[in-house]
Amino acid sequence: MRFLVRWIVRIRVRVVAAAVASLLVGSGLVAVRLRGEQTQAAGSGFKTNAVVLIVMDGFRWQEMFDGPDHALMNSKYGSVQDEKQLRKDFWRDTPEEGRAAMMPFVWGTVAKHGQIYGNQHKGSVAQVTNGYKFSYPGYNEMSTGYANHAINSNEFGPNPNASVFEWLNRKPEFQGKVGVFATWDAFNDIFRLKTSGLLVRAGWNLPWNSDLTPQASRLKKLYEMTTQIEDDDTFDSFTHEDLLDYLATNSPRALFVGYGGTDDWAHEGKYDLVLQAAHQDDAHIAELWNTMQAKPEYHDRVTFIITTDHGRGSGLKEWRNHDKNVDGAENIWIAAIGPDTPAKGEMTNVGRVTQSQIAATIAALLGQNYNADVPQAAQPLPLANWTVSR
């Protein structure tokens, strides 16, 4: 189960400095507009042929940019089982060394050849706009391009809003080439499995074909015979292997991948397992990148957008929690790498971007103008060949 924390936070922390706020315009959003109508057609000039949105649920910007928090790498505050081993694995003298040890692909490849937003120490702010700061509202916001304040529970039920993935799947050139692979079974509702026409494989109870390959047969057995720690959330490694099996015989053009371990273990207060889950997800992302790059249709033609659905609190206790009453849980991070994303690395002094900008970015990279059909959606992120309108 995903737990919504209702503890009252006693200390209010202002997370956006006045210097950063002065960079923002109007409502606080930097409006990014497409250059003319260039992304309405496949001839937009972009090299991207496929986009993969990858989400590490509830993984804080603090760990992403500062690396493992030394104050939590113990049994007292982080319920660490083996402090000696954890320190060997992830304790480093500087934040840069720590984050690279924890997430070598993100910092060794994505940061060198792409862009990462959200390091507030360096004047880069990434945030959710839904106000709730937990999973379902966040996934709705990033996949539709706008917040829906009626979605106020992780048990909300079928999403009333169509995602950019459903929108793409309705187009002839994308139909049947869009997929959702995720650990949490709520994605069946978030992506409207029963009505959207999307391929959605989420949670423990997956549909299986009658004529399975040997690999799929083994995977099916693992799903059926493994003890379920949470009945609504499977393991990241299972979802990842299911995705790789799918990619062996399919060539989707838009994918959503949802990993949940970083959030699950943070709610349990097990900081060592949060770090291990992040490290393993980094390895999963690297394997997915290399697998897709090895296929001719994806080689130098795929863009990855990597992010999180919400942040968490700070300090020795609130790092476990997130909801509308937890200060700082609105702060996230967004990374991107691909042939149309200039290699700018860790973004500095760029103001604020938002989770709601992701949906239009996915469409734009695929030569589609999402905002024309969904005007309430935020404009794309400023990471490709858009012009910034102030």
Query: Tokens at residue 189, please?
Result: 């509702």
CATH 3.40.720.10 fits 18-388, yes or no: yes
Query: What is the rounded CA–CA span in Å between residue 344 and residue 138?
Result: 26
Domain ranges in the chain? 18-388
- DSSP SS3 for 379: coil
Distance of CA 367 to the CA centre of its chain: 22
* Tokens 């539709």, residue located: 144
Query: What is the rounded CA–CA span in Å between residue 84 and residue 141?
Result: 40
Query: What is the rounded CA–CA span in Å between residue 209 and residue 211?
Result: 6
Please give the chain's pLDDT, 390 residues, in tens: 444 333 333 333 333 333 333 333 333 333 334 433 333 334 457 899 999 999 999 999 999 999 999 999 999 999 999 999 999 999 999 999 999 999 999 999 999 999 999 999 999 999 999 999 999 999 999 999 999 999 999 999 999 999 999 999 999 999 999 999 999 999 999 999 999 999 999 999 999 998 998 999 999 999 999 999 999 999 999 999 999 999 999 999 999 999 999 999 999 999 999 999 999 999 999 999 999 999 999 999 999 999 999 999 999 999 999 999 999 999 999 999 999 999 999 999 998 999 999 999 999 999 999 999 999 999 999 986 543 332
- DSSP SS3 for 386: coil
Q: What is the pLDDT of residue 385?
A: 58
Cα distances (Å, whole numbers) of residue 93 to 99, 217, 338? 11, 45, 31
Phi/psi class of residue 206: alpha, beta or left (left: φ > 0; alpha: ψ in -120 to 50)?
Answer: beta
Is the overall model pTM greater than 0.85, yes or no? yes
Task: Count Cα neighbours of 212 within 13 Å in the Cβ-side half-sphere.
Answer: 14
